[in-house]
A and B are shown apart, each in its own frame.
Chain A
């Protein structure tokens, strides 16, 4: 059995780079009202991500530290955190790229349950409200929010051409990591704001050639808490780790809503 010399060339062994100081936000229900920061010294190397560092803290310094993580490879969207004041995936952020003392906090614009764990329920409610599934022409999957979706009755396969797929493929890359909500100032001011990721998902299905639910989604999008709180800051698209561009999705939805408004104005006199 021979070693892969090519792999060895491409992947240098992790190098110990010393110790980094992490200021980590802490919060306990019933503890200090506004939370506090704890400082930890963490050994790190070239391959140490922020998730690795937090896990090291949990295993060696403070087992009560709470944070979310799962895939550790930028797929699951669980480990979004404010790192040095910027929303980032902790698994894709290496400690060596941070300053000598880095501040780690929970995602902005969400209520904190404990330490670095935020309450994602408002987003999950927003996501469900836009019917994030393909609505068939028979309406069998057009379940109301809060109700389980019916399985599609249609026996016809949903065939698509590559251009039809490309029309929505970029919006389909969203991993619901919520970095866009943490970057959006409007999400902080308007807590009921539908927000970037939910709108991008709505547009993902609206642009799907198999879908027939655009009308129902527009009823959710074209409201005071839907797309209109967006002032096109554009920060959501800048922080998206998957290049989804939710800001563009919201502006597209605004165009559609404005078109419907103009059509209604003309048709109703």
Chain B
């Protein structure tokens, strides 16, 4: 193998890369929505366990759920869920892209319909 004077410099991604621009910060926010949603899922799981252990435990879980701090955490989880759902459905529309935007004027409408259709389906399943 021929000798070379090349010494390519490999730079590592800085630890705080997600604070570098607004796009990364939005992405970080979207990913962080998983944490309050996971916490709320654990809270609901505890409720199921409480339900299986009798009326007293269930009443205690209900009282715990009405605590202002738990209500605040639930509100945060709801906001995180809505944020994640909105960003997810808006992104999912890009996957069905069929043509360059300038060529089909109604494409944005198509995107909106796909996002709306996905959201309605999700609500129907969840409801």
Contacts and interface: CB of A to CB of B under 8 A. Distances in A.
A30 interface: yes
A188 B91 CA distance: 22
A65 interface: no
A259 interface: no
Contacts of B21: 85-86
Contacts of B24: 185, 233, 235
Contact of A113 (B8, B23, B92, B103): B8
Given A170-B100, A234-B23, A245 B94 contact: yes
Interface string B1-38: 00001111111110001101101100100010000000
A220 interface: no
B11 A243 contact: no
Interface residues of B, number: 28
A55 interface: no
Contacts of B92: 251
B99 A170 contact: yes
Interface in B75-107: 91-92, 94-95, 97-101, 103-104
Contact of A235 (B5, B12, B27, B99): B27
B10 A111 contact: yes
Contacts of A245: 94, 97
Contact of A166 (B5, B27, B103): B103
Contact of B99 (A30, A169, A233, A252): A169
B27 A111 contact: no
B50 to A, nearest CB: 35
A113 B6 contact: yes
A252 B6 contact: no
Given A169-B100, A235-B23, 20 more contacts: A29-B5, A29-B6, A30-B7, A35-B9, A109-B13, A111-B10, A112-B9, A166-B98, A170-B99, A170-B100, A185-B17, A185-B24, A231-B31, A233-B23, A234-B27, A235-B27, A245-B97, A247-B94, A251-B91, A251-B95
Interface of A: 27, 29-30, 34-35, 85-86, 108-109, 111-113, 119, 163, 166-167, 169-170, 183, 185, 188-189, 231-235, 237-238, 243, 245, 247-248, 251-252, 255
11 contacts: A29-B6, A108-B11, A111-B11, A112-B9, A166-B103, A185-B17, A185-B24, A234-B27, A247-B94, A252-B95, A252-B97
Interface of B: 5-13, 17-18, 20-21, 23-24, 27, 31, 91-92, 94-95, 97-101, 103-104
